[in-house]
Amino acid sequence: MSEHTIVGIIGIFFLIAMLFSRMAVAYVMAIVGFIGYSYLTNLQVGMRLVSTDIFSVFSSYGLTLIPLFVFMGYIAFYSGVSSSLYDVAYKFVGRVRGGLAMATVMACAAFGAVCGSATATTATMGTIGLPEMKRYKYGAELSTGCVASGGGLGALMPPSVVLIIYGILTEQSIGALFIAGVLPAIFMTFLFMVAIRIYCIFKPEQGPKGEKFTIKEMILSLGELWETLAVFLFVMGGLVTGLFTPTKSGAVGAFTILMIVMLRRKLSWEDFKNAIYGTLKISCMVIMLIAGATVFGHFLALTRIPLELATVVGTLDLPPWIIIGLICFIYLLGGCFIDSMALIMLTIPIFYPIVVNLGYDPIWFGIIIVLVTHMGIITPPVGTAVYITRGIAKDVPLLTIFKGSFPFLLALIVGTAVMIAFPETVTFLPNLIN
């Protein structure tokens, strides 16, 4: 084993140790990457690496996508678009047992179409849905579980911030990733609704029936969807037809939803300022994560660990699907402790070469990663979506939320297994358009 590889292993060990100290992940990756790179070269080269990487990330034209799509989500939240989505979903499925939970999941998927963040979707739908489910006497397990789990659909439904980051790190088409995420997001929404229905058969007290609405009321409620559909179809339609690039799509989407809510006078000046502040806060956090991951990625590349690991895995006498299963299991475990975005940036330099060498489609792998990290954010001990939900439902114990998330975890496992067994479920739309 070479000196570079040994230094790389030591660096990974210190990285994990520092993460448990609760230090910000972006700074941990940057510090370990800088020290390791400087040790293997010299201090001057290490300092040049850090300054160059941070400057290149913060001046990257492609990363303008992130604040633009985050801004879309905040505008949708403060203007009440998210509430409208919830009301429409409730009118269609609220009358069945567990219908309000199904409406929450459907609203999470729809809100993801103008947001792209699991964290923001969980927080938004928790704020709207939890009081409603409590009012209709829903059990704490089901109500909190569906919010924590449904929020992850925001990271799968395009435009997804996680898919943007994956595309940037792997140099894959962000437009293709967005298109590939549509069918899996719809499929997982359906599986979540099935999970709620089965759950309510065994525990009917968790999801009592809601009020009934006439066909006319349901059809008329669809008019409230036009804002979300307009933004989604305009952004995705422009990408598919080549009218504009993925980067420009962020600007088009943000401008479209801003104009719609301003013309309808649904956004106050105070809410607009709050949206700007929230966008700035989230965007800086994400871009700092990318900068830290870039520094750490260059250190890993110098140690040759990703290349050597890919070579070792390639020589194993194991079917490719078993290796993919092991990688998914690692992501599942990692997601229990680390934010999904940070986990992806940490591990992509290691696992991406392995997957490519096995002959798998990089676009397909991006969707699989989102699914398995979605599992991590709802599993103990540190499921981030569960903690966000706990912050909203302060009277509900953490254990109750974890228990409520379990049926959705099973649905995620089933959905991921289907997409691994049948990759065409992910690649069908991108291949069709190309």
**pLDDT recorded at residue 141:** 92
**pLDDT recorded at residue 349:** 78
Question: 0.85 cut: is pTM over it?
Answer: no
The parent domain of residue 422 ranges over: 3-433
From CA 289, how far away is CA 24, in angstroms rounded? 9
- Secondary structure (DSSP) of 70-127: HHHHHHHHHTTHHHHHHHHHHHHHTTSTTHHHHHHHHHHHHHHTT---HHHHHHHHHH
The three-point CA angle 174-191-430 to 5° equals 25
Cβ atoms of 111 and 74 within 8 Å: the answer is no
CA 122, distance to chain mean position in Å, is 11
From CA 275, how far away is CA 305, in angstroms rounded? 42
pLDDT, tens digit only, all 434 positions of the chain? 678 888 888 888 888 788 777 777 788 888 988 999 999 889 999 999 899 888 888 887 777 777 887 788 788 778 877 777 777 877 887 778 888 888 889 888 887 777 777 777 887 778 778 887 887 788 999 999 999 898 888 888 887 878 888 888 888 888 889 889 889 999 999 999 999 999 999 998 888 877 778 888 888 887 777 777 787 777 777 777 777 777 777 788 888 888 888 887 888 889 889 889 888 887 887 788 778 878 887 887 788 776 676 667 666 777 888 888 888 887 777 776 666 676 777 778 778 888 888 888 999 999 998 888 888 878 876 677 887 788 888 888 888 998 999 999 999 999 999 999 898 889 888 888 76
Residue 116 phi/psi, 5-degree rounding, is: 85, 10
Q: How many domains does the chain have?
A: 1
From CA 15, how far away is CA 174, in angstroms rounded? 29
Does residue 320 have a cis bond before it (omega within 30 degrees)?
Answer: no
